[in-house]
Structure 1
Amino acid sequence: MNTKVVIVDENNIDKDAINEAGLILREGGLVAFPTETVYGLGANALSGDAVKKIFTAKGRPQDNPLIVHIADFNIESLVKNIPEVALHLMRKFWPGPLTIILEKSDLIPGETSANLPSVGIRMPSNIIARELIKASGVPIAAPSANISGRPSPTEASRCVEDLQGKVDYILGGGSCTVGLESTIIDCTVNPPCVLRPGGITLAMLKEVESSIYMDPAIMKKPEADIKPKAPGMKYRHYAPKAPMKIIQGDLKKTIAKINEIVQNYIDENKKVGILATDESKDSYPNGLVISLGSRKFMESIGKNLFEALREFDDAAVDIILSEAFEEEELGTAIMNRLKKSAGFNIVEV
């Protein structure tokens, strides 16, 4: 398959490119496109045959449901009902990085929902994404635009790296501003439950409805027999090519432990990658050190995480050692991704 790659400027959008990509989606093809979270790999959400192509291109397990992306608030045809709390969440956080799980209508095929009676829906804030959805004339089912299990792409070049020759069109549009997949909240239960942390934090959600809570299993290693209700609940995700360990505890002890482990690997002629922050990056005399940014600005940590893991792949490191972060607010989402990246390989200090 020949993959066409077009880069557009969100401040001066190429309508011809948007319309071309929209036509491909409408006719059952695959298009990678930017959102504020990560790049998505889109297909017509209402076509089971089109959606099947996503799973083939990504190598994605078919029991992993997809999120449906929309460009306006008219979702009545896609769902059976919209609880009042869901309406409040939509009004406050859409467009934006929040996916709301609702009971699906018969318009949504089983391929999109992984044969669940529910479906996740979100309205991206990225203008290119919304213009593409409008041009296609259909809701777009879209997981991240990468080979399944790899770090999600936040740059168009990473989509090309993973999907060249596997999809019809890659629509590039700059770096993703959030860098972490959307928060997912299940509104088919009462009180609503967060199934994946993201840029919309639990505290922000509680401002709308105080009873909203987070599934405690989110931060734990998933059971093998779980039937995922939302993307990312069951399978290893976001994983770099090299094995990864998270060193968790007091920062000074963490730095000392990482340096100790690094020396052991260097003695074995191994190339070590270290995932650090601005506050600690100069504390590591050996290894390839990548700073995610300052701990004072967790938004930067989240934005840079997946690209940093990709850079370690580029450098062909043998092992990655990562500092940990406090599991509160945005740090919860960051640690959720780190733990999955590391396969829950955590060293406590």
Structure 2
Amino acid sequence: MNTEIHNAYEVIKNGGIILYPTDTVWGIGCDATNPEAVKKIYALKQREESKSMIVLMNGERMMYNVFKDIPEVAWQILDLSEKPTTLILDNPRNVAQNIIAEDNTLGVRLVTEPFCFKLMERMKKPLVSTSANISGQPTPKSFKEISPEILKGVDYVVNLNHDKICDKPSTIIKLTNDNQVKIIRK
């Protein structure tokens, strides 16, 4: 795993994009603070930049670096969640502008999955995560379902968990600073 973390880090550090296993589905990712790398992902996915992507984080410190104000209910939801949960929060900062939604929100998921966690530990930055498919196509449930176009379009494919099957993307919950809660995907 250490070799894969090193290789992925070197690509990301130089503005590249990677294909990697997450705690849910296979993802395409890059440094969440690098707008040029984010543009590469939008281009590869053939996705409009008005459709924001989520970022993965590996702890509270990283969360507070991106969000000055985090509603208390966010921590309660994360503590009670039995499966990976993406929270959409208000007023992100210290990330590339082109991953922030038009309503000034950003989806974020805390991960404990070892590869992602250790990669972000090395990066000291959040990691973009979007499903490994062309926009509008089905999300691949396994590595072998990822299209050749995606495989050829990334700068590095992480060589871990190629046999993992995943058919459950994360729950998505939108929280506003005025304590409104909206479940977007269960």
With the shorter chain as reference, the TM-score category is 0.7 to 0.9
Partner in structure 2 of residue 52 of structure 1: 39
Q: 2:67 aligns with which of 76, 79, 82?
A: 79
Give the Å deviation of 1:162.
Answer: 3.6
- Map of 1:115-264 to 2, 5 A cutoff? 115-159=102-146, 161-171=148-158, 172-176=160-164, 178-188=166-176, 190-197=179-186
Q: Is 2:132–2:146's contact at 8 Å kept on the other side of the alignment?
A: yes
Give the secondary structure class of the aligned counterpart of 1:77: helix
- Say whether the 8 Å CA contact 1:19–1:136 is kept in structure 2: no
> Equivalences for 1:22-101 in 2 at 5 Å?
22-74=9-61, 75-93=63-81, 96-101=83-88
* CA apart distance, 1:130: 1.9
Q: Check the 8 A contact 1:110/1:116 in 2, yes or no.
A: no
TM superposition score normalised by structure 1 = 0.49
Of structures 1 and 2, the one with the larger relative CO (CA 8 A, separation 6+) is 2
CA RMSD of aligned residues (A): 2.0
The question of whether the paired residues in 2 share the 8 Å contact of 1:36 and 1:176 is answered with no
* 1:42-87 Cα distance to aligned partner (Å, 9 max, x none): 0111111111110011111211111110112221110130111012
Tell whether the 8 Å contact from 1:31 to 1:42 is kept in structure 2 after alignment. yes
Q: Unaligned 5+ residue runs, structure 1? A: 1-13, 198-349
- Using a 3 Å threshold, how does the CA distance of structure 1 residues 67 and 176 change in structure 2: closer, same or farther? farther
C-alpha distance in 2 between matches for 1:176 and 1:121:
23
Displacement, 1:17? 1.7
- Given that residues 36 and 178 in structure 1 are in contact (C-alpha distance below 8 angstroms), is that contact kept between their aligned partners in structure 2? no
SS of 1:114's equivalent in the other structure is coil
1:145-164 Cα offsets, whole Å, 9 max, x none, are 11111111232233363413
Structure 1 counterpart SS, 2:184: strand
- For 1:300-335, what per-residue CA distance to the aligned partner results, in whole angstroms no more than 9, with x for missing partners? xxxxxxxxxxxxxxxxxxxxxxxxxxxxxxxxxxxx
Larger Rg: 1
Q: Is the 8 A contact 1:37 1:97 kept in 2?
A: yes
Percent of pairs identical after alignment? 29
Where does the alignment leave 5 or more consecutive residues of structure 2 unmatched?
Answer: none
Q: For 1:303-318, list aligned pairs within 5 A.
A: none
Tell me the TM-score normalised to structure 2 length.
0.88
Secondary structure of 2:107's match?
strand
Indicate the SS of the match to 2:152. coil
The secondary structure found in structure 2 opposite 1:143 is strand
Decide which moves more: 121-130 or 137-146.
Answer: 121-130
